[in-house]
């Protein structure tokens, strides 16, 4: 089993910044790909950003240039720095850890951006 704890969500004004953290423990390691996805009511969950064990990253088109994903392998923790936030970034953000046994998801953290 993999335990995932997310933190850092909240309410922020448009143009502001937030930093999300996701700590994974249990049957996980620094060799796992980790990432963030987000979902709004009535829509499919979409990729925000992923980071591979070697540091390679990929981002959703809507967040490129504004969001930065990073990881601390020693802590099995991934971070998402979100700058220049827009109201359309409002969503529940979910941390994902991809292991050999399959993907694991965190419970989600709400991010609300007011205009």
pLDDT digits (tens, 9 = 90+) for 1-55: 899 999 999 999 999 999 999 999 988 777 789 999 999 999 999 999 999 999 9
Each residue's pLDDT tens digit, 44-64? 999 999 999 999 999 999 999
Residue length of the chain: 115
Q: What is the distance between the alpha carbons of residues 81 and 55, in angstroms, rounded to a whole number?
A: 15
Give the single-character DSSP code of 39. Answer: E
State how far the alpha carbon of 56 is from the alpha carbons of 21, 53, 68, in Å: 18, 7, 12
Q: Tokens standing for 64?
A: 């490129």
Q: What is the distance between the alpha carbons of residues 79 and 102, in angstroms, rounded to a whole number?
A: 21
């Amino acid at each position: 089993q993999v335990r995932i704890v997310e933190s850092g969500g909240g309410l922020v004004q448009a143009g502001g910044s937030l930093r999300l953290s996701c700590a994974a423990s249990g049957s996980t390691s620094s060799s796992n790909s980790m990432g963030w996805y987000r979902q709004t009511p009535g829509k499919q969950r979409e990729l925000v950003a992923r980071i591979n064990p070697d540091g390679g990253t990929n981002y959703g088109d809507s967040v490129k240039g504004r969001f930065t994903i990073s990881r601390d392998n020693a802590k099995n923790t991934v971070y998402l720095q979100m700058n220049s936030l827009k109201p359309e970034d409002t969503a529940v953000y979910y941390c994902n850890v991809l292991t050999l046994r399959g993907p694991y998801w965190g419970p989600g953290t709400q991010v609300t951006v007011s205009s």
